[in-house]
Amino acid sequence: MTFWNGILVVVLTATLIVSAPAVAGSNGVPTPPTGASAPSASPEPPPYAKTPPELSPYDQWTQPRGRYFQPHHFYLPPSFDPEIEYNRDIPIGLMGYDRAHPFYYLSIQAEHAMMLAIEEENARGGYNGIPYRLVVERTLPVWGASSNGAVAFAYQHKVLFYVGPPDASDSHIALRVNLKTKIPMLCTYNTDPTQTETRIPWYLRVNLDDRQYGYALVMHVVKRLGHKRIGIFRVNGMYGRFGVNEFTDACRRLGHPLVIELRHKQGAKATELASQVETLKKANLEALVLWSDAADAGNVMRALRDGGFTVPVFGADRVVYQEFIKTAGKAAEGVVAVTDYDPTRTDPLNDRFRLAYTKRFGEAPEACAARSYTGMRVAFDTIRKVGPKRRPFMEGLLKLEGQKIPTVLGTLELDSRLDNLAPVRWVKVVDGQFRYSDTPPAP
């Protein structure tokens, strides 16, 4: 073979490989060239969202065609339009609620924490001397109303990013608007597991979700304590509807499907729950799990204990607010719940935050405040690196995948969905106080 023949062969081979789309695959469909798209199927995928092996869906029966949310699955398409320039100040949004809204107790904590974080950051000079400014859009208690708020953030307030609403019924709607308006959204208190399972690459969540809480509760209640007859009492709203899904599935996968799932209306008083309490007593339960807002859960506990229901009660994260103890009174004793924030944890970040928050607002911060402050600190750290521009900011957040970030909540462990997989913390009500621990409390 001469030198030029060799060159010819090389060129021909290279050309063939580059332009070879028509390799017959199964059923006669040719195989396309590959490149840009990473395959979603993997022979040995990492466990999704730290799912315990025994809780993984369908694993006893078969393997799925494809698995999503593999590492680095987010793709932020290129933008071709110039970014907004923030010269006078940098608006940051909060989709909150007004006083009459059932989730006001959460949104006011987020508002305070954001105010504190912004004041601190502005005291340090903002971003190169440009101060940050908080803009609050108060969403009406109507399903769908958050879409208008998300549009206002884009077209009226022109925010750099915003902190989304606590309820999935609002935040899903807002997130889809963000896909079109290309505005990053931080989640600091919505616990719906499906919120980060949409593949929309404009979202980061710092708090734990109900998948993690559900797994923790079921492993404790069913596997550790050995309860077999389990019931759920939950709010008839999106928090309850989506919150219990993973717990319910996990109970079934462990061979102990729920005996009963009852609902109560949002804002139900203890005196309105007599019939549900009777039904629960007749169900012969060994454990009951509550998935309701703090005040509702307090009313439920009062109704249960006043009605003679003596079975151990476990709660999801919205139980861990002072409003619960205030409403339930003595009926709260012994309730065990899950959360991601331990205010008693000794840690310089947490100590400093707790002191500053208490000094500024005259009350100790609870989980929602700590989460929102955490989100803001993560955001400011990212902006400092990439500047106050929406797409670079989101790119900066995407780089946090797989990282461990120390915060007032503890160490964030952000997975491929930019969702936090840090360990769950436990709480037990003892003598009218929340007692925190890193492991489930003894029965």
Partner 1 sequence: MKKGAILVVMLAGILAGSVAPGLAGFPATFEWKRLGRETGLPMLKTLSVEMLDGVIYAGTGKGLYQKMGERPFERVVLGEIPETAILSLKADRKSRDLWVGTLHGLARANRGRVDVYTQLNSGLINNVIYGLDPVGKHVWVATAAGASRFEPSTGRWEIYNEKNSPMKEIWCYGVAGSEKYVYLAVWGGGIMEYNYATGVWKNYFDPDGEFEMDLFRNDGPPSIITSNVDYDGKTAWVSTYFGLGSYDGRRWLEWFEDSGEGMPSNFVNNTRSDRNSPGRTRPQRVWACTDRGLGCFDGKIWSLEIADVQVHSVSFEGDIVVAATDNGVFVGTAKAPSAKAGQDAGSGTEKDQMKIVPPVRTGKEVKTP
The Cβ-side half-sphere exposure at 373, using a 13 Å CA radius, reads 26
Q: Give the tokens for residue 144.
A: 């769908």
Q: Tell me how far apart the alpha carbons of residues 369 and 354 are, in angstroms, rounded to a whole number.
A: 10
CB of 309 to partner 1, least distance (A): 32
257 touches partner 1 by CB under 8 A? no
Of 194 and 433, the one with the shorter C-beta distance to partner 1 is 194
Cβ atoms within 10 Å, residue 240: 24
Of 3 and 362, the one with the shorter C-beta distance to partner 1 is 3
- The residue range among 19-27, 295-303, 320-328, 404-412 that interacts with partner 1, by the rule CB under 8 A, is 19-27
Of 30 and 432, the one with the shorter C-beta distance to partner 1 is 30
255 touches partner 1 by CB under 8 A? no
252 touches partner 1 by CB under 8 A? no
Q: Give the tokens for residue 92.
A: 């940051």
Q: Which helix (H) or strand (E) holds 291?
A: strand 287-291
Q: Spell out the residues 6+ positions from residue 376 whose beta carbon is closer than 8 angstroms to its own.
A: 92, 113, 114, 117, 118, 121, 163, 186
Cβ atoms within 10 Å, residue 70: 16
Exactly one of 100, 155, 255, 346 binds partner 1 (CB under 8 A); which one? 155
Exactly one of 26, 128, 275, 346 binds partner 1 (CB under 8 A); which one? 26
- Owner of token pair 């729920």: 258
Exactly one of 84, 130, 140, 145 binds partner 1 (CB under 8 A); which one? 145
CB of 442 to partner 1, least distance (A): 34
Exactly one of 130, 151, 258, 400 binds partner 1 (CB under 8 A); which one? 151
Binding-site string for partner 1 from residue 95 to residue 134, where x marks contact by CB under 8 A and - marks none: ----------------------------------------
432 touches partner 1 by CB under 8 A? no
284 touches partner 1 by CB under 8 A? no
| Residues 139, 97, 141, 264, Cα dihedral to 10° | 150
DSSP-derived letter for residue 257 is: -
Residue count, binding to partner 1 (CB under 8 A): 71
Cβ(188)–Cβ(26) below 8 Å = no
Q: Which helix (H) or strand (E) holds 289?
A: strand 287-291
The Cβ-side half-sphere exposure at 203, using a 13 Å CA radius, reads 30
- The residue range among 21-29, 219-227, 336-344, 396-404 that interacts with partner 1, by the rule CB under 8 A, is 21-29
CB of 148 to partner 1, least distance (A): 6
Exactly one of 108, 163, 177, 409 binds partner 1 (CB under 8 A); which one? 177
Of 176 and 263, the one with the shorter C-beta distance to partner 1 is 176
Q: Whats the size of the chain, residue-wise?
A: 443
Of 184-213, binders to partner 1 (CB under 8 A) are 194, 197-200
Of 45-84, binders to partner 1 (CB under 8 A) are 48-49, 57-58, 60-69, 75, 77-81
In angstroms, how far apart are the furthest CA atoms of the chain? 97
Amino acid at 149: G
